[in-house]
Amino acid sequence: MSGPFGSICMVGLGYIGLPTAVVFALRGVNVVGLDVNSTAVEKINRGETHIVEPGLDDALRRVVAAGNLRATTQPEPADAFLIAVPTPFLHEGEGHDPDLTYVESAARSIAPVLKKGDLVILESTSPVGATEQVAGWLAEARPDLTFPHTHGEASDIRVAHCPERILPGHALTELVSNDRIIGGLTDACATRARRLYKLAVEGDCIETDARTAEMAKLTENSFRDVNIAFANELSLICDKLGINVWELIRLANRHPRVNILQPGPGVGGHCIAVDPWFIVSQVPEEARIIRAAREINDNKPEWVLAKVHQAVAEHAAAGGAPARIACFGLAFKPNIDDLRESPALAIATRLASLYPGQVDVVEPFIEALPPALADKAQLLRPTEALESCDILVLLVDHDDFKAMPQPRKPGLHLIDTRGIWVGQPR
């Protein structure tokens, strides 16, 4: 392709990286995808996806067949490098400090193939200052090149941050239509990055500095987390007071300036359940509301488990065989197969450990149970679960579940965390 970017290297071919690579390839850009997962690389080169995303299968086949996208496990030279790798917690289960190991590994992997004039963009959601760290790692690996944190506008390599802001299930549309915040380590870095994104993005591309761009993504997800926490706290209050929280929210939202979100079993996914902690870890004394929201949402699964324990006890008191429990949904949001940071998966896993041999799972978007459940539960169809189970725990509002009538069976216990069965209007 003619122009300032003859080729792009997408570092990381997961839920963000692969759709992003495909979107650029659809615009005729020569894209090389880089990933450590050799199985995923092989599938992509056959035109097959390893993730579920509407429309991605067909689009991937087309760009691979056209020769605009291929994948590799070995870094290659390119004009721009986009890094989209995970940023989990440093010590999973022990704290909430961000782990930039994957980002550092990605940066150091591409360092040997950098040349003067290249652009490096960090797309991974990261704590404030991470883009500067990327520039530092690259500079350590390539002392023969200059970088913006030391040489400013005169640097050989441009470095920027452009956080993704897409909704899984709508990736191919939102990658094109959504506005992008582009933060450069210098003005020239931001401008060059904006020129790259305008090859594919129809939304506005707004330039700022890297730290503001990093904080923008964390702020967006913290805002959503705080509002979800309000809804989840309302559900706890209403449960104590004997009020249907879904009816309450429906009525309150008739106020022209009120828009309360829907409660659930917690908050999951690779963004909202993680990103607010990045702010808290850096400024713990100031981020009081953000911390409180995270704690409310992180503790909501315990409330769901307590409801199940109560239902099990009531079933036992009525006599008969031990209760069979069906968990409806494992994904972190409806109509996708993504289980990352999913409260539904955490709840189902805990129940399977607490009630061995008594737990079944209904999840229409997976073909096999994840390792945490593989030997502890069964994957059933909805009709099988309705016939055989005594306690139904609705955890994800998949469209398949919304289409079902409210289950009715003598002695059946319904624990509906999404308001599908028990939250309907009177």
**Residue 422 banded pLDDT, cuts 50, 70, 90:** confident
Residue 135: other Cβ atoms inside 10 A? 25
Rg (the chain; Cα; Å)? 24
Q: Please give the pLDDT value at position 143.
A: 98
Q: Please give the pLDDT value at position 425.
A: 67
Active-site residue identified among 9, 162, 271, 389: 271
Q: What is the end-to-end Cα distance of the chain in Å, rounded?
A: 60
Does pLDDT of 317 surpass 90? Answer: yes
Does pLDDT of 21 surpass 60? Answer: yes
Q: How far apart are CA 106 and CA 109, in angstroms?
A: 5
- 213: closest CA among 158, 149, 132, 155? 132
Q: pLDDT tens, 295-315?
A: 999 999 999 999 999 999 999
Q: How far apart are CA 10 and CA 33, in angstroms?
A: 5
- 143: closest CA among 158, 156, 152, 132? 156
Q: Please give the pLDDT value at position 1.
A: 29
DSSP 149-210: HHHGGG-SSEEEE------TT-HHHHHHHS-EEEEESSHHHHHHHHHHHTTT--S-EEEEEH
**Residue 2 banded pLDDT, cuts 50, 70, 90:** very low
Q: Could you tell me how far CA 287 lies from the centroid of its own chain? A: 22
Contacts for 359-363 with beta carbons within 8 Å, 24 or more apart? Answer: 359/324, 359/325, 359/326, 359/327, 360/324, 360/325, 360/326, 360/327, 360/384, 360/385, 360/388, 360/389, 361/326, 361/327, 361/330, 362/326, 362/327, 362/328, 362/329, 362/401, 363/329, 363/330, 363/331, 363/396
**Residue 20 banded pLDDT, cuts 50, 70, 90:** very high
Mean pLDDT of 192-201: 97
Task: State pTM to two decimals.
Answer: 0.90
Q: Please give the pLDDT value at position 91.
A: 64
Q: Which two tokens stand for residue 228?
A: 């979800």
CA dihedral 136, 138, 139, 140 (to 10 degrees): 90
Does pLDDT of 195 surpass 90? Answer: yes
Mean pLDDT of 128-135: 98
Q: pLDDT tens, 230-281?
A: 999 999 999 999 999 999 999 999 999 999 999 999 998 878 989 999 999 9
Q: Which two tokens stand for residue 67?
A: 């020769």
Confirm if 60 and 47 have CB atoms less than 8 A apart.
yes
Q: pLDDT tens, 363-376?
A: 999 999 999 999 99
Coil, helix or strand for 261? coil
Does pLDDT of 196 surpass 90? Answer: yes
Q: How far apart are CA 257 and CA 253, in angstroms?
A: 8
Q: pLDDT tens, 39-63?
A: 999 999 999 999 889 999 999 999 9
Strand partners, 83: 11, 122
Q: Which domains does the chain have, with CATH numbers?
A: 7-210 (3.40.50.720), 242-416 (3.40.50.720)
Mean pLDDT of 396-418: 93
Looking from the CA of 155 toward its CB, the CA atoms found within 13 Å total 29
Maximum Cα interatomic distance, the chain, rounded to a whole number of Å: 78
What is the phi-psi region of residue 211: left when phi exceeds 0, alpha when psi lies from -120 to 50, beta otherwise? alpha
Mean pLDDT of 310-328: 94
Kind and range of the H or E element at 81?
A: strand 80-83
Q: pLDDT tens, 149-187?
A: 999 999 999 999 999 988 888 999 999 999 999 999 999
Confirm if 171 and 19 have CB atoms less than 8 A apart.
yes
**Residue 3 banded pLDDT, cuts 50, 70, 90:** very low
Active-site residue identified among 217, 300, 307, 376: 217
Q: Which residue has the higher pLDDT, 406 or 362?
A: 362
Q: Please give the pLDDT value at position 90.
A: 78
Q: Which two tokens stand for residue 191?
A: 């401008």
Q: In the annotation, is 327 catalytic?
A: no
Q: How far apart are CA 40 and CA 20, in angstroms?
A: 16
Mean pLDDT of 329-341: 90
Q: Please give the pLDDT value at position 168.
A: 81
Residue 303 Cα distances to 10, 233, 284, angstroms: 41, 11, 26
Confirm if 72 and 41 have CB atoms less than 8 A apart.
yes
* Close Cβ partners of 365 (under 8 Å, ≥ 6 residues apart): 52, 331, 335, 336, 337, 398
Q: How far apart are CA 209 and CA 108, in angstroms?
A: 23
Q: What does the mean pLDDT of the chain come to?
A: 94
Q: In the annotation, is 217 catalytic?
A: yes
Confirm if 231 and 260 have CB atoms less than 8 A apart.
yes
Q: Please give the pLDDT value at position 169.
A: 83
Does pLDDT of 11 surpass 60? Answer: yes
Q: How far apart are CA 278 and CA 90, in angstroms?
A: 11
Side chain identity, residue 312: V
Q: Which two tokens stand for residue 126?
A: 């990261």
Q: Please give the pLDDT value at position 236.
A: 98
Confirm if 316 and 362 have CB atoms less than 8 A apart.
no
Strand partners, 362: 328
Q: Which two tokens stand for residue 326?
A: 């069906």
